[in-house]
Chains A and B, each alone.
Chain A
Amino acid sequence: MNKEEIIDTLKTIIELYSEEATALAHIDENTDFIHDLKINSANLVDIVLDIEEKFNIEIDNDSMAKMLTVKATTEIIAQKLDAHAG
């Protein structure tokens, strides 16, 4: 799965958690979940659960703490997918 594909899938997960239509429409690597998408910080754990399910990966607590932007999240997902494949 390439970076674009990961971001597209990520977008379908995130949509439920944000009411910022404009920011959602312009999601890119630099999008910040809390600042740009106004996602309630309590929901970040739910997003991680959804990511685990959707990508069939496991995310540890250290990685989870870093998942605040699309960029960081995409990198962690790619890393876990690689580890999985390897």
Chain B
Amino acid sequence: MDNRVVITGLGVCAPNGTTIDEFSDAIKKGLSGVHHQPDLEALNFSCQIAGKPSLNEERISQYFTPLELRNLNSSGIIYGVIAGLDAWKDAGLTIGNNDEPDWDSGTIFGAGTSGIDKFRWAINKIDALEIKKLGSSVVIQTMASGVSAFISGKLGLGNQVSTNSSACATGTESILLAYERIKTGQATRMLAGSTSDSGPYIWGGFDAMKVCTFKHNHDPQKGSRPMSTTASGFVPGSGAGALVLESLESAVQRKAKIYAEVCGGHINSGGQRGLGSMTAPNPTAVQRCIRAALKNAGIKASEIDVINGHLTATTKDALEIENWKTALQLPADEFPYINSLKGMVGHCIAASGSIECVASVLELAEGFIFPNINCEDLSPEISTLIDAKCIPQTVICKPFNTLAKASFGFGDINACVIFKKYTHE
């Protein structure tokens, strides 16, 4: 029989909070973590604002040995390890120096790229004919799976240890991959999550594509404007989110706190056919993904209380709302609440899905719907599709049962997961 899968631990390293308490408080208050970045200005970026987790050396040194810290130049690994280990501890699990690996626990921790600053340093050394100076720290920090390798070593994981990569759908996909592994009985516990580096070398490509806003360099906190009439491109972000997924049986047995249940979901692609392309979503695929997620989770459209959208603050926001509307086929006055975390943290690329899932699970567990910031001038394209009251601008404190979260990525790929409040039986 399939295992039911629940969430027993959360960790986050987000631009507006690097602990669960801080992050939960920030998203209720609608606090932005977007700031002006002097390095982006110095390098003539069009968009000179970004979301970056704020960490000091003392905090970082709690998670890494002095030897690891010595040549550590991979912000994504730092964010991922902090979020991952915090989630593990939050789940009440111990980090011991046991000789035997924990055969029943694994991780799927996604990334778009790893240690891009380290990579740059290594490339410069090689070109300067100093190959020998690379030492042993380049491969482990620049291999895509660096983050899952670091986490696994710290936790002694003995089940599947892997890094998935599916652009901006990475984080949501990691949860579904981990969910499947537990559901089918191949693991008892999986740390799911994703991470994304900070800095000019990860954000530069997006800046050059002109998909980031260049209109808010002087008012950074107003820059990320999902669903707004004045949305003018996304604000790049970074960080990591992590969730401990566990079989219900194991969670109950060890009397763990249960945040929510993962009921299922779906992952698909639009094949870059029809209206889909490398960078644009095929609406048919998005709608199918949402409908298949509901079916897989055994949930009716009318049961969804809250949607956590992908909603990046580009011209595609209205198309996303239209896709949700078409997929759910609900009367206008029954459309769920919908929100986007990107107004507060920007678009955290490969980490967006996991950070947003952490926010979603907190909403379900604590009974609130975080506010959409920077969309006081709601786009008329959106308000003709759904009632403005579906897009809360101030926090709503009320318990609810079901949340749908979707993420969409370059390559025309989609992931949608359904979370449900867990009522202790």
> What residues of chain A have their CB less than 8 Å away from a CB belonging to chain B?
16-17, 42-43, 45-46, 49
Q: Are A16 and B133 in contact (CB under 8 A)?
A: no
Chain A contacts for B137, CB-based, 8 A? 46
Residue-wise interface mask of B (133-151) relative to A, using a CB-CB cutoff of 8 A (1 in contact, 0 not): 1011100000000000000
Which residues between 96 and 153 of chain B lie within 8 Å of chain A, taking CB atoms?
A: 132-133, 135-137
Residue from the list B66, B71, B136 in contact with A42, Cβ < 8 A: B136
Q: Are B66 and A45 in contact (CB under 8 A)?
A: no
Closest 8 pairs (CB-CB, A-B): A42-B136, A46-B135, A45-B136, A46-B136, A16-B67, A49-B135, A43-B136, A45-B135
What total of chain B residues lie within 8 Å of the partner, measured CB to CB? 9
Chain B contacts for A49, CB-based, 8 A? 132-133, 135
Bound Cα distance A17, B132 (Å): 19
Q: Are B66 and A16 in contact (CB under 8 A)?
A: yes
Chain B contacts for A46, CB-based, 8 A? 71, 135-137
Shortest beta-carbon distance from B68 to chain A in Å: 10
Between A and B, 12 residue pairs with Cβ closer than 8 Å are A16-B67, A16-B70, A42-B136, A43-B67, A43-B136, A45-B135, A45-B136, A46-B135, A46-B137, A49-B132, A49-B133, A49-B135
A17: nearest residue on chain B (CB-CB)? Answer: B67
Bound Cα distance A45, B134 (Å): 9
Bound Cα distance A50, B135 (Å): 10
A19: nearest residue on chain B (CB-CB)? Answer: B65
Shortest beta-carbon distance from A60 to chain B in Å: 10
Bound Cα distance A16, B67 (Å): 6
B66: nearest residue on chain A (CB-CB)? Answer: A16
Bound Cα distance A42, B132 (Å): 14
Chain B contacts for A17, CB-based, 8 A? 67
Bound Cα distance A45, B135 (Å): 6
Contacts A43-B136, A46-B71 known; list 5 others, CB within 8 Å. Answer: A42-B136, A45-B135, A45-B136, A46-B137, A49-B133
Bound Cα distance A16, B132 (Å): 20
B139: nearest residue on chain A (CB-CB)? Answer: A42
B137: nearest residue on chain A (CB-CB)? Answer: A46
Shortest beta-carbon distance from A55 to chain B in Å: 16
Bound Cα distance A25, B114 (Å): 37
Chain A contacts for B133, CB-based, 8 A? 49
Residue-wise interface mask of B (185-227) relative to A, using a CB-CB cutoff of 8 A (1 in contact, 0 not): 0000000000000000000000000000000000000000000
Bound Cα distance A16, B136 (Å): 14
Shortest beta-carbon distance from B218 to chain A in Å: 45
A40: nearest residue on chain B (CB-CB)? Answer: B136
Shortest beta-carbon distance from B133 to chain A in Å: 6
A16: nearest residue on chain B (CB-CB)? Answer: B67
Chain B contacts for A16, CB-based, 8 A? 66-67, 70
Chain B contacts for A45, CB-based, 8 A? 135-136
Bound Cα distance A45, B137 (Å): 10
Shortest beta-carbon distance from B420 to chain A in Å: 44
B140: nearest residue on chain A (CB-CB)? Answer: A42
B135: nearest residue on chain A (CB-CB)? Answer: A46
A41: nearest residue on chain B (CB-CB)? Answer: B136
